[in-house]
Amino acid sequence: MQLTRHADYSLRVLIYLSLNRDKNVTIDEINDFYRISRNHLTKVVHTLSVNGFINTSRGKHGGMRLARDPGGITIGEVVRQMEPHFKLVECQSEELGDCRAAPICSLKSVLDNALEQFLSYLDGYTLADAVRPDASLAYLNKLPIGTSRNSRD
């Protein structure tokens, strides 16, 4: 059970942008920071833009910015929109959902509800909640690579 990298990268991009609200950030800058496939990143950025999470501009001094306040974008919202589907089991998909046990089995609705528990929990957290309030990129950039790991949990 996992999210696609598309959703994963989306969250990373938005978190990076939350720490850089005052300037245009380029794909290359994010790529430098995370060392993520630049091509994939480009597509993620585009989808984020289409979904209204960020504003992009081309050309010199172009780049992207958060379209809204980090405190107004929830993790749940991002996951719901950036993850392609949530068909946990076969019977949750329209076409293939022809399990012979369906008429007597309520697994589908139980899983639907459990998924909603998952997502609404994420609705309770915003991008602002996801970064340490005292944190800054300046601090991060001083750390030798590999120091990682969130000391908060």
Partner DNA sequence: TTTAAACATGCATGTAATATGCATCTAAAA
Partner DNA sequence: TTTTAGATGCATATTACATGCATGTTTAAA
**Contacting positions for a second copy (CB under 8 A):** 1-5, 7-8, 11-12, 15-16, 19, 33-35, 75, 83, 85-90, 97-115, 117-119, 121-122, 125, 129-132, 135-136, 139-140, 143, 145-153
Does residue 12 belong to the site contacting DNA (CB under 7 A)?
A: no
How would DSSP label each residue in 29-64? HHHHHH---HHHHHHHHHHHHHTTSEEEE-STT-EE
d(CA 132, CA 49): 25
CB-based burial label for 30 (10 Å; 0-12, 13-18, 19+): buried
Does residue 63 belong to the site contacting DNA (CB under 7 A)?
A: yes
Please report, as residue ranges, which positions from 67 to 96 form the binding site for DNA (by CB under 7 A): 84-85
In the complex, which residues of this chain contact DNA (CB under 7 A)?
2, 4-6, 8, 25-28, 36-40, 42-43, 45-46, 49, 56-64, 84-85
